Chains A and B, each alone.
Chain A
Amino acid sequence: MTIGLEHYLIVSVVLFCLGLLGVIIRRNLIVMYMGLELMLNAANLALVAFSHFRDNLDGQVMVFFIITVAAAEVAVGLALIVALYRKRQTNDVTDLTSMKL
């Protein structure tokens, strides 16, 4: 059995869904954030796979951009989560409901 594009894509979609589920279900902000990273990496995987099977390097260039941007996002995101933890001693997302309706 050869491993084709569809195999990569299936893995990628599964990763994406796992990440999304993590964001929706888990209460811990850090874990939610990990879920987000998982979604981005699912996209990366799909891009690299497409790039490989299409014999076109553009997709891999895009992956570099995504990785860089994700790094910046993580830096900002973690800083925010830390700031919240300092203030509230919690990183449970259900505590964050001071504004509603």
Chain B
Amino acid sequence: MDLQLVSLEIGACLLGIMVLLVDLWTPAERKAQLGWWVAGGLVGVFCYSFTIFDQGTGTGATGYVKDSLAVYFQGYFVLSAVLVVLLTQSYAARIRSGISELYAFTCFALAGMSFAAGANSLVLLFVAVELITITFYVLTSFERHRLRSLEAGIKYLILGAASSAIMVFGIALIYGSTGALDFHGVARAANGLNDDSMMLLYQLGVLMTLGGLFFKLAAVPFQLWVPDVYQGAPTPVTTFLSTGSKAAGIVLILRLLADACPPLLGEAWLRQLLALMAAATILYGSLCALRQRNLKRLLGYSSIASAGFVLLGLVTLSDQGAQAVLFYLTAYVFGVVGAFTVISVVSEESSDEDISTLANLHQRSPLMATVLTLSIISLAGVPPLAGFMGKFALLRAAIDSVAVHPVMPWVIGAALVGVVISFYYYFTVIREIFWGKGRFWAEEAPSTEPLLCPRAAEVVLLTCLFGLIGLGLFPEPILFIAGEATEYLFSAN
């Protein structure tokens, strides 16, 4: 028993419980301030768990590994959790009660994601996914007094539970056909399968399990829940959904494909399936976002489109593609958190999420206007910001694999069309910031009063600004770490 191996998960859970306890002795008006401590605590726990990794305690008990891929994603999850906790704090005014529970649940979800990053068996995969999903049911409907939050929670609950059930059934079929639950056992047994019906069962199982994971990632045809849930959930929760929860799905897909499905990696249909899904997802997200006026819903569709780009990296089924996916996610987190933070502050002030609330933002708060503009530009993929580097890496991996994958040119074409369409709706947002005239039926001109940004949100915004520019100009270090994390992921087979 090596408890140090899971120190990050234990630490996150303990931190969550401690917040709940400390809450009892904290006067109501200071509860929001707990966010600073949680954020600090998370960073501390991560640093501690990282030193353990550094000392060379590589893999541990069956079912859980702490390799460089796991550590990369754990770092990623902690980063987004810290940003989300700080964002939550500046959102506190809208949470009527139980801000501490919100922090605690964020920690629990983080523990689940961290398990997902290291999951190496179907059991842990299932438990980690459920830990994340059930936590998010609660988080999504946290503002119980708002019907929309509740509605989002229930939609997420029913669809999420259905996809979990499909995934569990898939797991049962994989187990039935191979007799193993840990990834390597599954791979070994699957390589030896010579019975056609068992192979069929195995393929069915893998597809259904992947289906459950694609639901997290929001890939077509499992994307329908995204806009409604993103719109209804409290903004910090939406942020965490689009950064943490989505990435948890990605790391599990990567591991499942690379470790448990070696016999399928050579099949043409797997590539065709992923390619078709990638193209459909990018186009679906971009097209639906075109006429969207609600900012959170708009970002929901944009999140679907970006899931398509992640799939573009997955289609290559190569180490380079996986590296690009990891980098893209890291670049993505700054853009998304930056955008959602600004939207959270602006929509709280005007109690509206319409795109017209952004009018005159450049006069009301230059900092927020800058960060939102840069975030959007980065999401759209314009150089020299982080998002451009991410998309560039993905497209480059895709182009490099054209020789191996005959379907690739079509997917790349679809991706480029998607990028062009996405410029339209992304720049609608920017136009609204600088040249917006407010709602066209409104009587009075949009406000030009200075808009105060809470301290915690300011910290988040500056971090995002730094990340967006830093990753755009100096992508090498992160690309290098991502490359190390994905080395031999696919090529080992």
Contacts and interface: CB of A to CB of B under 8 A. Distances in A.
- Are A and B in direct contact (Cβ within 8 Å)? yes
Interface of A: 9, 12, 16, 19-20, 23, 29, 32-33, 36, 39-40, 42-44, 46-47, 49-51, 54, 56, 58-59, 61-62, 65-66, 69, 72-73, 76-77, 80-81, 83-84, 87-88, 93, 96, 98-100
19 contacts: A20-B162, A29-B154, A33-B161, A36-B158, A39-B169, A43-B171, A47-B176, A59-B181, A65-B123, A65-B127, A72-B134, A73-B134, A73-B164, A80-B150, A87-B147, A96-B154, A96-B155, A98-B151, A99-B151
Contacts of A39: 162, 165-166, 168-169
Contacts of A77: 137, 157, 161
B168 A43 contact: yes
B482 interface: no
B360 interface: no
Interface string B257-297: 00000000000000000000000000000000000000001
B352 to A, nearest CB: 15
Given A83-B150, A99-B151, A56 B179 contact: yes
A32 B232 CA distance: 21
Interface in B167-195: 168-169, 171-173, 175-176, 179-181
B364 interface: no
A69 B128 CA distance: 10
A32 B130 CA distance: 19
A97 to B, nearest CB: 8
B186 to A, nearest CB: 11
A43 B161 CA distance: 13
A61 B122 CA distance: 12
A93 B151 CA distance: 10
Contact of A62 (B158, B181, B297): B181
B148 A99 contact: yes
Contacts, number: 121
Interface string B189-219: 0000000000000000000000000000000
Contacts of B10: none
B120 interface: no
B220 interface: no
Nearest to A59: B175
B227 interface: yes
Contacts of A87: 144, 147, 150
Interface residues of B, number: 40
A39 B153 CA distance: 20
A36 B156 CA distance: 13
Given A42-B169, A69-B127, A73-B130, A36 B162 contact: yes
A77 B181 CA distance: 28
Contacts of A81: 154
Contacts of B144: 83, 87
Nearest to B227: A99
Given A16-B169, A76-B138, A98 B175 contact: no
B76 interface: no
Enumerate the 6 nearest inter-chain pairs by beta-carbon distance, A residue then B residue, closest first: A39-B165, A50-B176, A46-B172, A43-B168, A43-B169, A69-B130
B83 interface: no
B490 interface: no
Contacts of A47: 171-172, 175-176
A47 B168 CA distance: 10
Interface string B123-157: 10011001000100110010010011011111101
Given A43-B165, A80-B141, A99-B227, A23 B158 contact: yes
Contacts of B164: 40, 73
Nearest to B228: A99
A23 B158 CA distance: 8
A62 B180 CA distance: 11
Contacts of A62: 122-123, 126, 171-172, 175, 181
Contact of B165 (A19, A80, A100): A19
A54 to B, nearest CB: 5
B134 A76 contact: yes
Contacts of A76: 134, 137-138, 157
A63 B121 CA distance: 15
A40 B166 CA distance: 8
A46 B173 contact: yes
Contact of B172 (A19, A43, A83): A43
B231 interface: yes
Nearest to B231: A99
Nearest to A95: B151
A83 B145 CA distance: 9
Given A72-B134, A99-B148, A99-B151, A65 B169 contact: no
Nearest to A38: B165
Contact of B175 (A42, A50, A73, A93): A50
Contacts of A43: 165, 168-169, 171-172
Given A69-B127, A88-B147, A99-B228, 8 more contacts: A9-B176, A32-B158, A39-B162, A50-B175, A59-B176, A72-B134, A83-B150, A100-B228
Contacts of A12: 172
Contacts of B161: 33, 36, 73, 77
A19 to B, nearest CB: 7
A53 B202 CA distance: 17
A69 B151 contact: no
A6 B228 CA distance: 40
